Homo-oligomer: A and B are copies of this chain.
């Protein structure tokens, strides 16, 4: 990981200014953050953190994508989170973190030294409130995902994944899209990684993508670009329903 000068990007110009832990901060609080933050980048494939390590820093994903996963002693792997811009990494109050974190694209991180950030949380209600809010959201997401892993079929899992990814992407690009509108996703994950996220094998994942393609629910352009001609139709395939909401 390369260290960059802490002045590379001002908080005010930060692409995740309104999504990250700092989202609710006022300008004077941003100044404090500005002083304790530092940027780091990592290349695709780099391990950012290992479950056995001690965590010395917290950080936010600024750009790129990373995965959070556990590998069992016999090699089975389960991804428990896909980290996109705005997501926070770390567990204030604990120095261990029982998952591995790996960059799956070039990643920029906004880092905070552990003790300093914990002090910030204690002193800044707008940070701690935002952190609670984000943690509750992640908890909901983790539980939603448990439903996917526990009860959906392979086809439904793949559809669910595409739906949730499309929603997150749309959210990051600041806003919704019209119901039934065409959606394009550039997958940040390989088939292998998708499989680990979905609790499937590569082969089954690939087969289900082919099946969705055959059924006209998705159109592909290379392995990683996926077009969804009718978003609602794909939502129906996901079984989960969750809210029946549109892309938002």
**B135–A139 contact, CB under 8 A?**
yes
Taking CB atoms and an 8 Å cut-off, the chain A residues in 105-142 that contact chain B are: 122, 125, 128-129, 131-133, 135-136, 138-140, 142
Q: A135-B139, A239-B72 are in contact. Are A146 and B145 (CB under 8 A)?
A: yes
| A131 and B121 alpha carbons, distance in the complex (Å) | 13
Chain B residues with CB under 8 A of A77: 151
Which of A35-43, A55-63, A90-98, A173-181 lies at the interface with chain B? A90-98
- The answer to whether A92 and B125 have CB atoms under 8 Å apart is no
- Tallying the copies of this chain within the complex gives 2
Is B239 in contact with A150, judged by CB distance below 8 angstroms?
Answer: no
Pairwise interchain contact B132-A142, C-beta atoms closer than 8 A: no
A243 to B81, CA, bound (A): 20
Q: B-facing mask of A64-80, CB < 8 A → 1, else 0?
A: 00001010111011101
Contacting pair A132 B133 (CB below 8 A)? no
B98 touches A151 (CB 8 A): no
Q: A227 near B: Cβ within 8 Å?
A: no
On whether A80 and B147 interact (CB within 8 A), knowing A92-B136, A139-B138, A239-B72, the answer reads yes
How far, in whole Å, are A242 and B80 apart by their CA atoms in the complex?
A: 14
By a CB distance below 8 angstroms, the chain B residues around A94 are 136
Contact B78 A147 (CB under 8 A): yes
Q: Is A241 an interface residue (CB 8 A)?
A: yes
Decide: A150 and B149 in contact? CB cutoff 8 A: yes
Q: Is A199 an interface residue (CB 8 A)?
A: yes
Report B-chain residues with C-beta under 8 Å of the C-beta of A76. 151
Task: Please determine whether A150 and B81 come into contact, CB atoms closer than 8 angstroms.
Answer: no
Residues of B within 8 A of A240 (CB): 72
User: Shortest beta-carbon distance, A41 to chain B, in Å?
Assistant: 26
How distant is the Cα of A239 from the Cα of B151 in the complex, in angstroms? 21
Q: How far is the CA of A128 from the CA of B80 in the complex (A)?
A: 26
A171 in contact (CB, < 8 A): no
Extra pairs beyond A91-B136, A128-B128 (12, CB < 8 Å): A80-B143, A92-B136, A93-B133, A93-B136, A98-B144, A98-B242, A128-B129, A135-B135, A139-B142, A145-B146, A146-B149, A149-B149
Using CB atoms and an 8 Å cutoff, list the residues of chain A in contact with chain B: 68, 70, 72-74, 76-78, 80-81, 91-94, 98-99, 122, 125, 128-129, 131-133, 135-136, 138-140, 142-147, 149-151, 198-199, 239-243
List the 3 shortest-distance A-B pairs measured between CB atoms, nearest first. Answer: A150-B199, A142-B142, A80-B143
